[in-house]
Amino acid sequence: MVQKELDMQTEQDELTQFLKEYQALCEKHQCQIIANPTLRARDDNTWSIVIQTGIGRLPKKDAQE
């Protein structure tokens, strides 16, 4: 039980570190990853949701204020 809690904490720490590093990278290059859901028709007359990803510029700092 204790090991499982330690593993969960370690994973949470890794995720937190990843988010900090990703944010710093976004700020450095003024870009971010963008995900847009779209619907795509299938052969069996149903629809699927597809996530299209891309890179986009961050809004200018003076525009955020």
pLDDT of residue 3: 72
In whole angstroms, what separates CA 58 from the centre of its chain? 14
Low-confidence stretches of the chain (pLDDT < 70) are: 1-2, 4, 6, 63-65
Q: Tell me, what's the pLDDT at 17?
A: 94
**Which pair of structure tokens corresponds to residue 53?**
């990803």
SS (H, E, C) the chain: CHHHHHHHHHHHHHHHHHHHHHHHHHHHHCEEEEEEEEEEECCCCCEEEEEEEEEEECCCHHHHC
Residue 2: the pLDDT is 65
